[in-house]
Amino acid sequence: MPVAAAWTSRRYRWLLPWSARSRRTTQAYARLSGRIELTLDPERRARAGARIARALGCSAAAADRIFAASLVSEAQEEADTVWSMRHAQTWPDLFRAPADEPRPRGATVYVTLHFGSPILAFLDLRHRRVADVRLMMRPLSPANPMADAKRAFAVRKVAWVTTTSGCEPLPTDAAGTARAREHLVAGGALYAAIDVPGDVVSRAAAVTLFGERILVSAGMMTLARLTGAALQPVVAVRRGETLALRYGARIPPGNDTETLTAAFHEVTRFITDDPGQWWLWPYIAPEQAADG
């Protein structure tokens, strides 16, 4: 078995379940996983480092440290999820109470990133603030290549989120989109990531991020326009052992391109302030690559 495949199998079969023993072991899992992932894929590391250095105007060494931090952040999200599965009464304690939150009002699309802890952010939002918010996400499918052990964890994670939130995630297919539209028309709320690379979704549009034109999912902008829902950027920012929701400015519905641009203007500030918490540095799809 190749080294990378063997590591992935052991990571998700043995090491990730072990991480739930204590808060100290969740952090140890994140640090170890990040360190190993950094060394296993030199091409991914170089791609991420080059993009970070261009985007933030930092040195190659600083860019490498930021990418390493993003790998740790993603692994920490996994460990926090497993911890929360095992300690159902304590997962809300991972969140700091925000000092100032926008008041929920009317149909809203909460847009987030693959950043910090997006799933726990959704659960915190639904548990504490917006009871009718529904998660919208791409379903697991054979078209999404994933090692068996990692897929098994993903299946358990989706099942746990469904049970904990009390509602199944809405898929991004035609039927799911129709249900999402009905929910917004009735005054409800959705929660979805908008940084999904545009080469893996059916509806995509180009946006400028740190001076680079990239393709991202554009479906949420269309839903907002069709239903009159406002967009509310939000991420879960990690601060030591805790998380806190951070909000951007509320964006009224309008032209899809203008709304997408406004949304990325807001979420770019999140990435700029905490670049080591964004996981997608090496994975975003440049516009020209998709056109070619």
Does 277 have pLDDT greater than 90? yes
- Structurally, the chain folds into a number of domains equal to 1
pTM recorded for the entire structure:
0.93
Q: The domain containing residue 178 runs over which residues?
A: 3-291
- Per-residue pLDDT of 87-101, as tens digits, reads 988 878 888 877 778
- Per-residue pLDDT of 33-63, as tens digits, reads 999 999 999 999 999 999 999 999 999 999 9
Residue 88 is predicted with a pLDDT of 82
Residue 1 is predicted with a pLDDT of 56
Residue 206 is predicted with a pLDDT of 92
The rounded distance, in Å, linking the Cα atoms of 198 and 192 is: 15
Name which residue leads in pLDDT, 76 or 94.
Answer: 76
Give DSSP secondary structure letters for 129-195.
T-TTEEEB-PPP-TTS---HHHHHHHHHHHHHHHHHHTSPPBPSSHHHHHHHHHHHHTT-EEEEES-
Does 219 have pLDDT greater than 70? yes
Q: What percent of the chain has pLDDT over 90?
A: 76
Residue 292 is predicted with a pLDDT of 45
Q: Please, which residues have CB within 8 angstroms of residue 285's CB and are 6 or more apart in sequence? A: 197, 198, 199, 200, 214, 215, 216
- How many Cβ atoms from other residues are within 10 Å of residue 143's Cβ? 8
Angle at 192 between CA 187 and CA 229, to 5 degrees: 30
